[in-house]
């Protein structure tokens, strides 16, 4: 159920409707839009009586939402969600594309800084790096944990880059929430409902990767889990699915990008690194992702990929990332979109945006 408020509805009228919904034992999710606020109602198993809600002051209409996902849906919020990063000009969603790049894993302080410097110089606004790694083998490198988070926090201070890193479980989530700017939930955890709910109780944006065999509906329902707990800052990410194809690690399903845009207001990024698993295919598929309308890319970059402790074969060299930034910018222009270059800090004057230097 969705309550659409009149364009001129006041904050008090919106609050009164939310209180009324809470009194009925449901949860109200006010979602302000450019024209008007819509209030999503969750927690109801069946229909709720719309009669009384319609009578409340400031209410334009009450409409049932027939799709299984509600808060994720464009029916609830027509315009694209744009996630902002306080104190910076960085955004995810909307006209500007978000470029996120960095190593699969943070291995050492020197490795992370060497790569971050190149990423910042290339003009990306976000740095990725794994502190907790979901590895197929328990004997493979598992990540440096909190030490890696500390290194990434230093990278944010030095270069201004906003930090994206994965929380593999509820314990890691607490630390990732403390240090990072974006909480990544990996493909293997897309249907870890307790982790999704816990991330939904945080107030940092959540980057949710598509599960290896998840349908579009399952993917959107996973996002709904996060939003149902009150965290509306969700970023979707296509990272390839399992198919019979064996020339790539996964099959990058770019058709999900326009499919998501049709159904949902949430931004969707593409990860051609995990999506192909092969260095020589990352730049071409990155270009294709921008052409198909992705809201940004997440790319694994390593200065010495042959020495990487994880995912070296799919990590591109910093020079290739520079090339991808340039090509993505040109393709974006055709679509009347833009790839911002360098992060500008509007507050927090201590940090340096090195791409500007």
- Residues forming the site for ligand PEP (CB under 6 A): 104, 130, 134, 186-188, 209, 239, 274
User: Within 10 A of 246 (CB to CB), how many other CB atoms are there?
Assistant: 6
C-beta closer to ligand PEP: residue 37 or 310: 310
By Cβ distance, which residue is nearest to ligand PEP? 186
Closest distance of CB 295 from Mn ion, Å: 20
Whether the CB-CB separation of 325 and 287 falls below 8 Å is answered with no
Closest distance of CB 14 from ligand PEP, Å: 37
Closest distance of CB 130 from Mn ion, Å: 7
Closest distance of CB 249 from ligand PEP, Å: 9
Question: In terms of Cα–Cα distance, which of 8, 13, 18 is closest to 40?
Answer: 18
DSSP secondary structure, 284-322, as one string:
HHHHHHHHTT-SEEEEEB-SSGGG-SS-GGGPBPHHHHH
Binding flag, residue 224, Mn ion (CB under 5 A): no
C-beta closer to ligand PEP: residue 53 or 112: 112
239 binds, among ligand PEP, Mn ion, none (CB under 5 to 8 A by kind): ligand PEP
> How many residues of this chain interact with Mn ion, rule: CB under 5 A?
2
SS3 label, residue 238: strand
Binding flag, residue 311, Mn ion (CB under 5 A): yes
Closest distance of CB 239 from ligand PEP, Å: 4
C-beta closer to ligand PEP: residue 29 or 302: 302
Binding flag, residue 271, Mn ion (CB under 5 A): no
H or E element at residue 27: strand 27-32
C-beta closer to ligand PEP: residue 77 or 209: 209
Residues 6+ apart with CB under 8 A from 247: none
Distance, CA of 72 to CA of 253 (rounded, Å)? 20
209 binds, among ligand PEP, Mn ion, none (CB under 5 to 8 A by kind): ligand PEP
Binding flag, residue 148, Mn ion (CB under 5 A): no
Give just the sign of the alpha carbon dihedral 273, 143, 209, 322: negative
């Amino acid at each position: 159920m969705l309550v659409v408020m009149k364009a001129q509805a006041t904050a008090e009228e919106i609050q009164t409707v939310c209180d009324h919904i809470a009194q009925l034992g449901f949860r109200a999710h006010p979602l302000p839009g450019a024209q008007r606020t819509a209030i999503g109602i969750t927690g109801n198993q069946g229909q709720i009586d719309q009669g009384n809600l319609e009578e409340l002051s400031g209410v334009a209409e009450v409409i049932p939402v027939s799709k299984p996902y509600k808060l994720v849906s464009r029916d609830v919020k027509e315009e694209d969600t744009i996630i902002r990063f306080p104190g910076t000009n960085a955004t995810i969603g909307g006209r500007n594309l978000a470029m996120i790049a960095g190593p699969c894993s943070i291995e050492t302080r020197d490795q992370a800084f060497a790569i971050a410097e190149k990423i910042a110089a290339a003009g990306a606004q976000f740095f990725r790096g794994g502190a907790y790694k979901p590895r197929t083998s328990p004997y493979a490198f598992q990540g440096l944990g909190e030490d890696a988070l500390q290194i990434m926090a230093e990278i944010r201070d030095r270069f201004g880059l906003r930090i994206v890193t994965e929380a593999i479980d509820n314990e890691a989530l607490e630390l990732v929430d403390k240090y990072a700017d974006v909480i990544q939930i990996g493909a293997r955890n897309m249907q870890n409902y307790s982790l999704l709910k816990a991330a939904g109780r945080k107030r940092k944006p959540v980057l949710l990767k598509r599960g290896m065999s998840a349908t579009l509906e399952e993917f959107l329902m996973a996002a709904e889990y996060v939003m149902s707990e009150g965290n509306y800052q969700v970023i979707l990410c296509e990272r390839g699915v399992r198919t019979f194809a064996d020339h790539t690690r996964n099959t990058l399903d770019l058709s999900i990008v326009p499919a998501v845009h049709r159904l949902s207001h949430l931004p969707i990024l593409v990860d051609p690194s995990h999506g192909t698993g092969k260095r020589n295919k990352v730049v071409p598929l990155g270009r294709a992702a921008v052409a198909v309308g992705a809201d940004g890319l997440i790319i694994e970059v390593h200065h010495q990929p042959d020495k990487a402790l994880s995912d070296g074969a799919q990590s591109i060299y910093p020079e290739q990332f520079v090339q991808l930034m340039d090509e993505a910018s040109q393709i974006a222009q055709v679509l009347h979109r833009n790839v911002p270059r360098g992060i500008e800090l509007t507050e927090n004057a201590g940090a340096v945006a090195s791409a500007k230097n």
